[in-house]
A and B are shown apart, each in its own frame.
Chain A
Amino acid sequence: MSKMINPMQADVALDRSRVTDHGKGKVEVNAQDLTYRELNLLLRVVCDEGAKHLLLKNVNGQRYIATDLPPVKIDIEGCAGNDLGVFMNGCEITVNSNCQDAVGNTMNAGSIIVHGHSSDIAGFAMRGGKVYIRDNSGYRCGIHMKEYEDKIPVLVVGGVAHDFLGEYMAGGVLLLLNRPSVQGATEFGEMPSDLIPSHHIGTGMHGGVIYLRGRVEPYQLGAEVAPVDFTDKDTETLHHEIDEYCNHFEVSDDERQELKDSEYVKLIPVSHRPYGKMYAS
């Protein structure tokens, strides 16, 4: 038995028949109907045995994928469950479908590329690494993202996101591309397509930067943020992230150029001490 199997996990079934070794470190795992404990234990074991590239088939809702794994490449087929990449430190994940709540929760390094949408609290408290979501994201996207030294997390959403976007944000880069082509008509109701639909954007924000393609009304912004002018460095960051996004999701050259040529709103915190005047002392 692998040295990585903790006796505490002895009650979890380890179904090796789910594993197909394609050689050269590429290992396929059939996740069909596995519990997250069974799946994640299997992943621990195959990584321990030298797998460098995991191909997960038939994933549907299993949680915590890629936590406590060495920095391997992971391709996920199916809908990834909550907390995909929680506390992750270096894996490179691609999801060919949607993912659920808290993708990239408190992640430290690595990347998650989602060919679909994500539900709420995408990128919660992430400190490093990159998350690219092709379509929309739910509530509290990018909430409490941080940064530290060379760790500057990036979260890019191809569509739009719901309320409390970037709430408490303390660092990193949050970019909404507002591509009409990826937005479900039912999702945000009828509104001018250039108007970002989120409210309470950047409320409590005290670090980092939010870029929004389109426009926002002042009432949509939290009291702690304000739009500011672009610098050359902003344009550089923006173009770099647009390129990365477009490469991941095979966006046409025309649209790529359109994304780069569009108007963006840049939001930064008004103060690093938003609540300095709250107290009577």
Chain B
Amino acid sequence: MISYSSPEFEVEIKDDLCIRCGACVVNCSFDALEHDEDDDRIVANNRNCVDCRRCAVFCPTLAINIYENGLAFRKHGLWTNRAQREINKQAETGGVLLTSCGNELPSTTHPIYWDHLLLDASQVTNPSIDPLREPMELRTYLGSKPDAIEIDDQGKVKAPNRPSVALETPIMFAAMSFGAISYNVHKSLALAATEAGTLYNTGEGGLHPSLYEYGDNTIVQVASGRYGVFDEYLKAGQMIEIKVGQGAKPGIGGHLPGEKIDAEISLTRMIPEGTDAISPAPHHDVYSIEDLRQLVMSLKEATNYEKLVAVKIAAVHNAAPIASGIARAGADVIVIDGFRGGTGATPTVIRDNVGIPIELALAAVDDRLRQEGIRNQVSVVVSGGIRNSADVAKAIALGADAVYIGTAALIALGCTVCQRCFTGKCAWGLTTQDRQLNKRVNPEEGSERLYNLLRGWSIEIKDILGAMGVNAIESLRGNRLRLRGVGLDEETLKILGVRPAGK
């Protein structure tokens, strides 16, 4: 069927700069560029361009620019370019609109609350601290803590009955499965997590045999499809994360198409090559909170109570009571993934309409757990649109123990958030299983980029702490008095537990 939509992007190739080297053509994995042999020039098929900018970055003479095709549709306030494009697409296929990455809705309609929160600094009454020369501590422990320490007759501390794990910086790499991302990306994450003293997360796709050696820095995930889950896998990492939901698709399952299940993915997921890997919407052994307890405890039994068990949910309306239930179900860590959380593939309608912002969910959950006196029983980890060290600091001040980053990590490896992960054609070699494209990520270089990112953010967090006059991350955790809100209504300030700036 003929598409009634005009191309979304226009590729401009400056002929005077172009040296016909063909690098752009090689780099484009979406078939948007070709070398016209007759005219000896590079021509663009605008219809195929996804604006991933791989060609522009790799053009040695910077001859390529990509523009939004602003007049692709008649301008209209209600029937926007996007609205018309989506209707056309569905009229042409009868299918569900699919997209990738986090919610892209503008902050004018869907506020990014991080940007409405401001951090405090010490002036005069208490000194700020210079983090470059003074001690500054970011070490963070995840896991359940007793309310009081128990000392035996010999003055020795009685062993805690729940495990814990230490992070050298309160930033972990979020769950992204081998299958959604490439082996080289997984290895980059594993190496960087090891170097930085933090954890990366396998996602629901099993753990490649060659990555078991990074177990001390690994979180293994158990999701509804149970791919690659067996006893050794469960014991491979420091923590087991039960994935109930994710911010980009609350209540929705996953589906890795058969084309992506090659020999390596097959080995890791423990399913035959070429078959679909379907992750059902729910865990079919978890239809209730007491069933969740059953799964939590089964994982503890299966690992001799040596591993932390985390439960990850999407930030939804009732996040607070659900989190309370998760704590009472025996989980050691609660992970909440917000409205803007990323993904390899999600129905657009779900991504853009279901769930709530992470800032509000985090504030509500932390409040509720404190009101119920069970905040010590669990650690709280948040994710979903953490862009920089300030977002991390604000999350911790609102009450998080640590954060996960997913999209930010991919951006560090080249991702330009073109939202085409689901096509499997990622030109940056990140979200594809194409062996040629995969080579675009070198695990050594990739891990260096990721490590650098964590290093930079960690130094900045220390700067933030120093400015506040504290030298340990504990003193920022849940310290909402060091936050002020700007441009927020009273109700939102109340939910966030933050005073308005100036007050």
Contacts and interface: CB of A to CB of B under 8 A. Distances in A.
In the complex, A touching B (Cβ < 8 A)? yes
A127 interface: yes
Interface in B430-453: none
The listed residue with most A CB atoms (<10 A of its CB), out of B90, B97, B275, B277, is B275
Contacts, number: 151
A176 interface: no
A4 B306 CA distance: 11
Interface in B279-324: 280, 284-285, 294, 297-298, 301-306
Nearest to B277: A170
B159 interface: yes
Contacts of B163: 8
A275 B306 contact: no
A87 interface: yes
The listed residue with most B CB atoms (<10 A of its CB), out of A68, A82, A149, A280, is A280
A280 B301 contact: no
A68 B275 contact: no
A146 B285 contact: no
A278 interface: yes
B95 interface: yes
A276 interface: yes
A108 interface: yes
B37 interface: no
Nearest to B227: A146
The listed residue with most A CB atoms (<10 A of its CB), out of B92, B98, B226, B306, is B226
A144 B280 contact: yes
Contact of A276 (B161, B257, B303): B257
A155 B163 CA distance: 36
A220 B302 CA distance: 37
A4 B230 contact: no
Interface string B171-198: 0000000000000000000000000000
Interface string B190-214: 0000000000000000000000000
Nearest to B303: A68
A68 B304 contact: yes
A148 interface: yes
B93 to A, nearest CB: 4
Nearest to A109: B230
B270 interface: yes
A278 B422 CA distance: 13
Interface string A192-214: 00000000000010110000000
Interface string B230-272: 1100100000000000000000000101100000001000111
A37 B161 CA distance: 13
A280 B89 contact: yes
B161 A8 contact: yes
Contact of A147 (B162, B234, B272, B303): B272
Contacts of B418: none
B275 A105 contact: no
A11 interface: yes
B275 A144 contact: no
B159 A7 contact: yes
A273 B98 CA distance: 17
Nearest to B423: A281
Interface in A53-75: 63-64, 67-68
Contacts of A144: 225-226, 278, 280, 284
Nearest to A271: B276
A44 B301 CA distance: 10
Given A6-B304, A281-B95, A170 B294 contact: no
A32 to B, nearest CB: 20
Nearest to B304: A6
A125 B96 contact: no
B95 A171 contact: no
Given A121-B284, A273-B258, A281-B423, A4 B304 contact: yes
Nearest to B234: A87
B231 A87 contact: yes
Nearest to B88: A280
The listed residue with most A CB atoms (<10 A of its CB), out of B98, B160, B284, B302, is B284
Given A124-B284, A170-B278, A280-B93, A63 B297 contact: yes
A47 to B, nearest CB: 12
A277 to B, nearest CB: 7
Contacts of A25: none
Contacts of B117: none
A59 to B, nearest CB: 15
Interface in A94-112: 101-102, 105-106, 108
Given A64-B302, A83-B298, A147-B271, 12 more contacts: A9-B161, A36-B301, A40-B301, A67-B231, A83-B285, A102-B294, A106-B226, A121-B285, A127-B270, A151-B270, A170-B275, A280-B89
Interface of B: 89-90, 92-98, 159-163, 225-226, 229-231, 234, 255, 257-258, 266, 270-272, 274-278, 280, 284-285, 294, 297-298, 301-306, 422-423
Interface of A: 4, 6-11, 36-37, 40, 44, 63-64, 67-68, 82-83, 86-87, 89, 101-102, 105-106, 108, 121, 124-125, 127, 140, 143-144, 146-149, 151, 167-168, 170-171, 204, 206-207, 272-281
27 contacts: A7-B159, A7-B161, A8-B306, A10-B161, A11-B161, A37-B301, A64-B297, A64-B298, A83-B285, A86-B298, A87-B229, A87-B231, A87-B234, A102-B294, A146-B226, A168-B280, A170-B278, A207-B275, A273-B276, A275-B276, A277-B95, A278-B95, A280-B90, A280-B95, A280-B97, A281-B95, A281-B423
